[in-house]
Amino acid sequence: MKIERGKYRHFKGGEYEVLCVGKHSETQEEMVVYRALYGEKEVWVRPAIMWFDRVERDGKTYQRFTKIQDV
């Protein structure tokens, strides 16, 4: 699944904006660069392979990030 720019909701409820997808300089692994849309609006990086992972919590399974709005 392709990671596109836009607004996403984390399974814990926070909202984030994907800024771009880049590559790790040493491994060439694709990385998602994204910003929190709350608090200090920190910028984060996460391996792209983890972006749409399924996460289990309290016996329920969630998609880690779900797109809620295009750019």
User: Does the pLDDT of residue 5 top 90, yes or no?
Assistant: yes
User: Does the pLDDT of residue 1 top 80, yes or no?
Assistant: no
Distance, CA of 34 to CA of 47 (rounded, Å): 11
- Torsion angle, CA of 48/37/62/53, rounded to 10 degrees? 0
Q: What is the pLDDT of residue 14?
A: 97
The pLDDT tens digits of the residues spanning 10-19 come to: 999 999 999 9
Q: What domains, with CATH codes, occur in the chain?
A: 1-42 (2.30.30.320)
What's the predicted TM-score (pTM) here?
0.88
User: Does the pLDDT of residue 71 top 90, yes or no?
Assistant: no
- Torsion angle, CA of 71/64/9/2, rounded to 10 degrees? 10
The pLDDT tens digits of the residues spanning 31-56 come to: 999 999 999 999 999 999 999 999 99
Distance, CA of 14 to CA of 7 (rounded, Å): 11
